[in-house]
Structure 1
């Protein structure tokens, strides 16, 4: 089985999301949710690249 996870840090002016046929789902997640949902390797990468610091500034 193959799993693919693509993570974006983004901001929007609307809460409405349209998911195309290429997608199965989406999640708007804060830091706590990211830490629960994402694999530990991605969390380590986020910490290394200060992604959570960026989230706190928004």
Structure 2
């Protein structure tokens, strides 16, 4: 089964920003993400649509 989420580190790499900037954007809601316990997860479909400019 293929993973359906990205980590914040993976998103930071994809966007070419630092880990701290990615976490800041996730916390502010600029990057579509959800809390799962203490971790942030970024659903692949939502992130890919957001990145393509199709909304969050």
**TM-score category, normalised to shorter length:** 0.3 to 0.5
Give the number of the structure whose residues are more often strand, by fraction: 2
Q: Which has the higher contact order (CA 8 A, sep 6+)?
A: 2
Structure 1 length normalisation: TM-score? 0.32
Bigger Rg, which one: 1
Structure 2 length normalisation: TM-score? 0.33
